[in-house]
């Protein structure tokens, strides 16, 4: 559905995206996970034809590069920076974007309604977007990407700065879209989201794609061992293991000089640990 | 996709921007409400509907320095309702009529004295030529009457010197006697008439001695001592007749300014907020985005101009003498200001920076371009300076169609300047827009 080959983009001496190759399959939710400044938005920009790569190529669904209108019609973009007009109502915003993608007439108003419904903004459809809460604006921003029902959606941090209620709505919407067969690229720096939502994840840092794969595989390959923390008479022990359940059984069976264990806690490796092991840094800083 | 979808997308962008302008309270106020208030205020300040009618101002050219001409002008100056401006050449006098400085021009020909002396023998008095402002026909009629009356009086003076008159008559008799192209029967008739005249003069001489001097006016009631030939200027109207016709273009200046400012801000906002980028990532060409924005600016400029014109026509009796011309003038000024808009929108690197800069530039332009003081009230050098402002040309075109009565040829100049401003602004704007949007 989307194939990136040796994409590279520099701004002066800064390499924003460095030799990124990637294939996203039809119908999958692909997460692009990385810290601030990793090059996620730049990659998305190249995918939609807004940013022209220095080298490399982007190909959409076998139709070509996103530089022509015909190809762009297959794409829906929700930019990281909110791209909605505060002085237009929710419905008017969506009508505008629908028209930009060639919709009109009844078809347009039907799709506007459907998109508003999908993101749960129907009750506020005729309020100006400027009066929406931050989360509602995010949802409208998402709706603007899918009003023309494109097969490929590029969502750049669609949950940035959003309350839990809107976040859940957005994640549900994305899952519904995936179930309906849309291909989705989803960038985030929240590894929980990537883990919850994405079929496959690519981890990007400083413009380089460090690894790509199913979350479990990545964790198994790069996450390291699980950690079992044991509390015994106010003291903490830390045990690294490949098989945390067996380790716990052993710990509980063993009564040492300080008596039996009073608490046990498993820390499984996750994408955070994958990132840590690949970069030596935490995703959060 | 088809052309239809492309047009729909372009209009969607344009319609968005127009709505943004109308919904932004501050922008809408400065674009629509403020100019109306401003123009109304100045309209009332300049004297309201109709304007005050003072003296009939005329330009007089004296090409004959003889006593008759001088006396005639002296009399003219003495009348209460005519104010005389002496001008050296007929061309200058005509120009003054065109500019609306005087309502008519009159040339006393170099043959004035001779024609006057030969009045009786030729039957034709001196011919006064000149031009009159067609919009002031009533005054022109009054003027013509006045001129004849004065000529009578001037003539009366020579008649009141019967000795001189008798001398004239003798000259006439002599010339009739000598004339070969007049048959004898006529000569006899004329001779009899002249004899009568002679006796009238004798009577007159006696009456004058008795203190009654106006007996003359009766027998000559239908006699026209001067031929007044006032040509109407080719223009339909010269000079505003209603002070709101002066303040309306001023209001339009402020309306256009509000419009441009609002659009520069909208575009700046668009650049900052990422909506512009979003538009550009849609399957529309950059031309459509730029075109949509330009179209929005154009629609708004037209809207503000015609809201003002309509209101002033309806409420303040501003007459639309030439609506097609006015339409062309407003189209041209809308076009010019779209160019200005495009240019100012992209001049700065950052959105907000360009908006601030744009606002100050446009304010200065509006002020020197006739927004504060009508240009024709400005001192000469300021009028020159104001040529640098697109507003001046918009005002000139609109006034040209409104009350300057420009001919199509005269209209061409401001229209071409406006179109030039539009094209240059648009080209520069698009070039810089493309560069600013390069990623
Ligand atoms: N237009 C630009 N001009 C110069 N540098 C840029 C531009 N756009 C991005 N960059 C730089 O490229 C790098 C990658 O930026 P990008 O926006 O792709 O990161 P990101 O992964 O989306 O980060 P975030 O999570 O903060 O959104 C950053 O160092 C950024 O400063
Ligand atoms: Mg980003």
pLDDT of residue B351: 54
Please check whether residue A70 touches B, CB under 8 A: yes
Q: Is residue B280 part of a domain?
A: yes
pLDDT of residue B157: 60
A-chain CB neighbours of B285 within 8 Å are 69
Stretch among A172-186, A194-208, B38-52 having the lowest mean pLDDT:
B38-52
Q: Whose CA is nearest to atom 7 of ligand 1?
A: A11
pLDDT of residue B381: 78
Collapsing DSSP to helix, strand or coil, B123 comes out as coil
Give yes or no: residues B261 and B410 share one domain.
yes
Interchain pair A88, B16: CB under 8 A: yes
* pLDDT tens digits, A73-85: 999 999 999 999 9
Interchain pair B282, A45: CB under 8 A: no
Sign, CA dihedral A123-A127-A133-A134, equals positive
pLDDT of residue B254: 87
pLDDT over 90 (residue A129): yes
pLDDT over 70 (residue B266): yes
Sheet holding B56-62, edge to edge: B82-86, B56-62, B104-108, B127-132, B227-232
Q: Is residue B46 part of a domain?
A: no
DSSP codes, A221-281: HHS--EEEEEEETTEEEEEEES-HHHHHHHHHH--BTTBS-SEEEEE---HHHHHHHHHSS
Question: Is the CB–ligand 1 distance for residue A36 below 6 Å?
Answer: yes
Give the residue with greater pLDDT, B96 vs B210. B96
Question: Is the CB–ligand 1 distance for residue A16 below 6 Å?
Answer: yes
pLDDT of residue B143: 75
Question: Is the CB–ligand 1 distance for residue A41 below 6 Å?
Answer: yes
Q: Is residue B44 part of a domain?
A: no
* Candidate from B279, B281, B285 with C-beta closest to A48: B281
Rounded-to-integer distance, Cα A129 and Cα A29, Å: 28
pLDDT over 60 (residue B221): no
CATH of the domain spanning A2-220: 3.40.50.300
Interchain pair A70, B273: CB under 8 A: no
CA angle A89, A93, A99 (to 5 degrees): 140
Give the residue with greater pLDDT, B314 vs B404. B314
Burial of B167 (0-12, 13-18, 19+ CB in 10 A): exposed
- CATH classification at residue B103: 3.40.1710.10
Give yes or no: residues B9 and B91 share one domain.
no
Give yes or no: residues B175 and B246 share one domain.
no
Collapsing DSSP to helix, strand or coil, A55 comes out as strand
Most confident of A66-75, B108-117, B210-219, B366-375: A66-75
Give yes or no: residues B307 and B358 share one domain.
yes
User: What is the Rg, in whole angstroms, of the alpha carbon atoms belonging to chain B?
Assistant: 32
Give yes or no: residues B98 and B232 share one domain.
yes
Give the residue with greater pLDDT, B232 vs A72. A72
Q: Mutate which of B281, B289, B292, B435 to disrupt the A interface (most A C-beta within 10 Å)?
A: B281
A-chain CB neighbours of B273 within 8 Å are 81-83
Q: Are A270 and A193 in contact (CB under 8 A)?
A: no
Rounded-to-integer distance, Cα B86 and Cα B88, Å: 7
The residue count for chain A: 285
Across the range B176-183, mean pLDDT stands at: 62
Bridge partner residues of A64 (DSSP) = A60
Give yes or no: residues B429 and B293 share one domain.
yes
- Alpha-carbon dihedral angle through residues B96, B101, B105, B110, given to the nearest 10 degrees: -60
Q: Pick from B174, B205, B236: which residue ends a domain? A: B236
Q: Are B283 and A102 in contact (CB under 8 A)?
A: yes
**Shortest CA distance to B148 belongs to which of B211, B203, B221, B227?**
B227
Ligand 1 centroid, distance to B192 Cα (angstroms): 114
Q: Are B213 and B205 in contact (CB under 8 A)?
A: no
Ligand number nearest to the C-alpha of A39: 1
Give yes or no: residues B73 and B207 share one domain.
yes
> Given the CA of residue A17, which atom of ligand 1 is nearest to it?
14
pLDDT over 60 (residue B50): no
pLDDT over 80 (residue B354): no
Give yes or no: residues B180 and B86 share one domain.
yes
Q: Is residue B328 part of a domain?
A: yes
- With tokens 């990659």, the residue in question is A43
Across the range B249-268, mean pLDDT stands at: 86
Please check whether residue B19 touches A, CB under 8 A: yes
pLDDT category at B335 given cuts 50, 70, 90 is very high
Q: Are A156 and A139 in contact (CB under 8 A)?
A: no
Rounded-to-integer distance, Cα A187 and Cα A41, Å: 8
pLDDT category at B439 given cuts 50, 70, 90 is low
Rounded-to-integer distance, Cα B45 and Cα B39, Å: 10
Give yes or no: residues B312 and B390 share one domain.
yes
Beta strand residue intervals within B136-248, DSSP E: 227-232
* Candidate from A49, A82, A99 with C-beta closest to B12: A99
| Number of domains present in the structure of chain B | 2
Sheet holding A263-267, edge to edge: A235-241, A226-232, A263-267
Burial of B184 (0-12, 13-18, 19+ CB in 10 A): exposed
Q: Whose CA is nearest to atom 30 of ligand 1?
A: A37
Ligand 1 centroid, distance to A60 Cα (angstroms): 23
**Shortest CA distance to B396 belongs to which of B425, B372, B375, B422?**
B375
Q: Is residue B36 part of a domain?
A: no
Stretch among A20-29, B161-170, B352-361 having the lowest mean pLDDT:
B161-170
Q: Pick from B220, B236, B252: which residue ends a domain? A: B236
pLDDT over 70 (residue B162): no
Tally the C-alpha atoms within 13 A of residue A26's C-alpha that lie toward its C-beta: 8
Ligand number nearest to the C-alpha of A14: 1
Across the range B10-30, mean pLDDT stands at: 88
Please check whether residue B184 touches A, CB under 8 A: no
pLDDT over 90 (residue B3): no
Cβ–Cβ pairs < 8 A, chains A and B? 79
Q: Is residue B40 part of a domain?
A: no
Say what the ipTM of the complex is: 0.82
Please check whether residue B382 touches A, CB under 8 A: no
Across the range A20-31, mean pLDDT stands at: 93
DSSP codes, B379-413: -HHHHHHGGGSHHHHHHHHHHHHHTS---HHHHHH
List residues, by chain if needed, whose CB lies under 5 Å from ion ligand 2: A 40-41, 80
Ligand number nearest to the C-alpha of A202: 1
Interchain pair B19, A92: CB under 8 A: yes
Give yes or no: residues B211 and B279 share one domain.
no
Ligand 1 centroid, distance to A17 Cα (angstroms): 9
Residue of A nearest to B439 (CA): A51
Sequence-separated contacts (24+) of B113-118 with Cβ below 8 Å = B113/B64, B113/B66, B113/B67, B113/B68, B113/B69, B116/B68, B116/B154, B116/B155, B116/B158, B117/B68, B117/B168
Interchain pair A101, B279: CB under 8 A: no
pLDDT of residue A254: 78
Most confident of A123-137, A215-229, B180-194, B359-373: A123-137
Q: Which tokens belong to B55?
A: 């003296």
Q: Pick from B194, B215, B236: which residue ends a domain? A: B236
Rounded-to-integer distance, Cα A217 and Cα A195, Å: 12
Q: CA A202: distance to chain centroid?
A: 10
Interchain pair B277, A48: CB under 8 A: no
* pLDDT over 70, % of chain A: 99
CA distance A242 to chain B (A): 47
**Shortest CA distance to B176 belongs to which of B158, B162, B194?**
B194
End-to-end CA distance of chain B: 26
**Please, which residues 127-166 of chain A have a Cβ atom closer than 8 Å to chain B?**
128, 144
Ligand number nearest to the C-alpha of A204: 1
**Shortest CA distance to B396 belongs to which of B253, B298, B259?**
B253
Rounded-to-integer distance, Cα A146 and Cα A74, Å: 10
pLDDT over 80 (residue B407): yes
Give the residue with greater pLDDT, B176 vs B76. B76
Across the range A115-130, mean pLDDT stands at: 94
Q: Which domain holds residue B229?
A: 56-236
Phi, psi of A66 (to 5 degrees): -80, 35
Q: Mutate which of A74, A102, A158 to disrupt the B interface (most B C-beta within 10 Å)?
A: A102
Average pLDDT, chain B: 77
Q: Is residue B390 part of a domain?
A: yes
pLDDT of residue A16: 94
Which of A42, A160, A191 should be mutated for ligand 1, with most atoms under 8 A from CB? A42
Give yes or no: residues B132 and B210 share one domain.
yes
Interchain pair B274, A83: CB under 8 A: yes
Bridge partner residues of B60 (DSSP) = B86, B106
Q: Are B113 and B68 in contact (CB under 8 A)?
A: yes
Give yes or no: residues B24 and B68 share one domain.
no
Give the residue with greater pLDDT, B310 vs B115. B310
* Candidate from A72, A85, A87 with C-beta closest to B282: A72
Interchain pair A83, B277: CB under 8 A: yes
Please check whether residue B104 touches A, CB under 8 A: no
pLDDT of residue B383: 76
pLDDT over 90 (residue A151): yes
């Amino acid at each position: 559905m989307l194939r990136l080959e040796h994409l590279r983009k520099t701004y002066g001496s800064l390499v924003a995206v460095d030799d990124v190759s990637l294939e996203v399959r039809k119908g999958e939710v692909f997460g692009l996970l990385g810290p601030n400044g990793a090059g996620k938005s730049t990659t998305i920009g190249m995918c939609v034809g807004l940013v022209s790569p220095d080298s490399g190529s982007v190909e959409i669904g076998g139709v070509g590069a996103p530089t022509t209108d015909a190809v762009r019609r297959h794409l829906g973009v929700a930019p990281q920076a909110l791209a909605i007009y505060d002085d237009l109502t929710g419905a008017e915003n969506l009508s505008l974007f629908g028209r930009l993608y060639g919709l009109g007439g009844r078809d347009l108003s039907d799709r506007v309604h459907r998109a508003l419904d999908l993101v749960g903004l129907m009750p506020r459809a005729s309020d100006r977007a400027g009066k929406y809460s931050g989360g509602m604006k995010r949802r409208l921003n998402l709706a603007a990407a899918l009003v023309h029902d494109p097969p490929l959606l590029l969502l750049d941090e669609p949950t940035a700065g959003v309350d839990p209620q809107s976040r859940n709505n957005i994640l549900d919407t994305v899952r519904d879209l995936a179930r309906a067969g849309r291909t989705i690229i989803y960038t985030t720096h929240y590894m929980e989201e990537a883990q919850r939502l994405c079929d496959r994840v690519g981890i990007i840092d400083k413009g380089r794609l460090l690894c790509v794969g199913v979350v479990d595989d990545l964790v198994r390959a790069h996450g390291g061992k699980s950690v079992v923390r044991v509390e015994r008479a106010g003291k903490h022990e830390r045990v690294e293991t490949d098989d945390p359940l067996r380790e716990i059984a052993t710990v509980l069976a063993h009564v040492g000089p300080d008596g039996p264990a009073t608490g046990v806690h498993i820390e499984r490796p996750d994408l955070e640990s994958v990132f840590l092991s690949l970069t030596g840094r935490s995703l959060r800083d | 996709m088809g052309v239809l979808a492309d047009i729909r997308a372009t209009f969607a962008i344009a319609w968005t921007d127009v709505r943004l302008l109308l919904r932004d309270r501050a922008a809408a106020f400065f674009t629509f409400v403020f100019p109306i208030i401003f123009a109304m205020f100045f309209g009332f300040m300049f004297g309201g509907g109709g304007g005050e009618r003072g003296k009939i101002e005329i330009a007089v050219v004296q090409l004959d320095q003889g006593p008759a001409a001088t006396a005639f002008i002296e009399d003219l100056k003495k009348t209460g309702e005519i104010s005389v401006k002496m001008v050296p050449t007929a061309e200058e006098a005509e120009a003054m009529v065109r500019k609306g400085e005087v309502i008519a021009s009159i040339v006393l020909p170099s043959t004035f004295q001779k024609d006057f002396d030969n009045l009786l023998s030729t039957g034709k008095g001196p011919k006064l030529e000149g031009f009159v402002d067609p919009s002031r026909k009533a005054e022109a009629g009054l003027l013509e009457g006045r001129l004849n009356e004065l000529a009578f009086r001037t003539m009366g003076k020579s008649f009141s010197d019967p000795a001189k008159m008798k001398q004239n008559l003798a000259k006439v008799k002599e010339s009739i006697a000598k004339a070969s192209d007049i048959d004898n029967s006529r000569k006899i008739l004329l001779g009899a008439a002249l004899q009568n005249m002679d006796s009238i003069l004798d009577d007159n001489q006696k009456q004058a001695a008795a203190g009654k001097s106006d007996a003359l006016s009766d027998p000559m009631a239908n006699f026209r001592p001067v031929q007044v030939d006032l040509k109407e200027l080719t223009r339909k109207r010269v000079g505003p007749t209603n002070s709101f016709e002066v303040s309306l273009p001023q209001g339009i200046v402020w309306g256009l300014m509000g419009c441009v400012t609002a659009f520069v801000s909208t575009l700046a906002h668009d650049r900052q907020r990422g909506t512009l980028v979003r538009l550009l990532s849609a399957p529309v060409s950059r031309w459509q985005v730029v075109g949509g924005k330009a179209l929005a600016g154009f629609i708004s400029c037209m809207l503000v101009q015609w809201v003002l014109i309509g209101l002033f026509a309806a409420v303040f009796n501003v007459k639309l003498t030439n609506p097609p011309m006015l339409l062309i003038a407003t189209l041209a000024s809308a076009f010019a200001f779209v160019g200005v808009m495009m240019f100012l929108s992209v001049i700065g690197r950052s959105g907000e920076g360009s908006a601030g800069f744009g606002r100050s530039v446009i304010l200065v332009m509006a002020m020197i371009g006739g927004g504060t003081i009508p240009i024709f009230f400005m001192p000469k050098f300021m009028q020159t300076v104001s040529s640098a402002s697109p507003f001046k040309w918009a005002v000139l075109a609109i006034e040209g169609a409104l009350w300057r009565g420009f001919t199509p040829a005269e209209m061409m100049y401001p229209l071409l300047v406006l179109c030039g401003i539009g094209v240059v602004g648009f080209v520069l704007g698009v070039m810089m827009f493309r560069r600013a949007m390069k990623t």
